[in-house]
Structure 1
């Protein structure tokens, strides 16, 4: 069994995060120009201040990019630990692929129609997958 198979989903989610980064700036920069916002004169802030200035559809991409920097950090840590510990193949790799697929679906929902209940359901399923991976890592490293 390829115990590094779980690294495929890791690389895929990392690449997806960069796709969302490009999509965010490809929509945000033109929207800022249309709103006559001079980024060179901006001081401080987190980008959240743009929520009141830019169209919601533009900000959805930024919000999703931020979401990809949150819970997936746990996924990266657990998946890499499983790979290093020789447990990154088989069922764990399949669960990791499910997690990544669900996070991509979550992104697509958020950046297009942004239906909160749809997002929540997909997020909950992804969270269950991550929970399963975390339990497997715990069992493999702590209870072995």
Structure 2
């Protein structure tokens, strides 16, 4: 068995969570479309923002969160892979990566349930601080060794 960097596990978990949110988005959105009188069989063109005007906000929250999971976490994936490839993906970096993933999952749960912006922003800020720490550690690993 090949040894792998511990930081790869949080990457896999966050990708899996993103797919859970993708499913949650459609479980919420498809029934809401039916209630709004939108026939998906005859629907041509359009995008998610077109649905915003026709669906209740609460039914849009999972889609909003799925979009968020396609944004900043892409930086996390890249920096975590840099840490893994530089041999510094264990120890504190793995712990910080797990904190980032936990905070992003918490952010998702807040956004799709109560969606309190101030609470969501606080969790987002904490996760961003984790990402900043990982970036500093990656820069040290790449430029100072």
Q: TM-score, normalization: structure 1?
A: 0.95
Gaps of 5+ in 1: none
Whole-Å Cα distance in 2 between the matches of residues 67 and 46 of structure 1?
A: 16
Q: Which is worse superposed, 94-103 or 2-11?
A: 2-11
Post-superposition shift, 1:131? 0.4
Gaps of 5+ in 2: none
Q: Which is worse superposed, 129-138 or 42-51?
A: 42-51
Whole-Å Cα distance in 2 between the matches of residues 91 and 132 of structure 1?
A: 10
The number of residue pairs the alignment matches comes to 143
Q: Which is worse superposed, 36-45 or 88-97?
A: 36-45
Aligned Cα root-mean-square deviation (Å): 1.2
Contact 1:3/1:87, CA 8 A, preserved across alignment: no
Post-superposition shift, 1:3? 6.2
1:41 is paired with a residue whose SS is coil
Whole-Å Cα distance in 2 between the matches of residues 61 and 109 of structure 1?
A: 10
Whole-Å Cα distance in 2 between the matches of residues 49 and 111 of structure 1?
A: 19
Residue 47 of structure 2 corresponds to 46
Structure 1 segment 83-98 matched on structure 2, within 5 A? 83-98=84-99
Contact 1:75/1:130, CA 8 A, preserved across alignment: yes
Q: Which is worse superposed, 48-57 or 32-41?
A: 32-41
Post-superposition shift, 1:36? 1.3
Write out per-residue CA displacement over residues 74-104 of structure 1, whole angstroms, 9 at most, x where no aligned residue. 0000101111111100000000000000000
Contact 1:3/1:88, CA 8 A, preserved across alignment: no
Post-superposition shift, 1:48? 1.1
Whole-Å Cα distance in 1 between the matches of residues 94 and 75 of structure 2?
A: 15
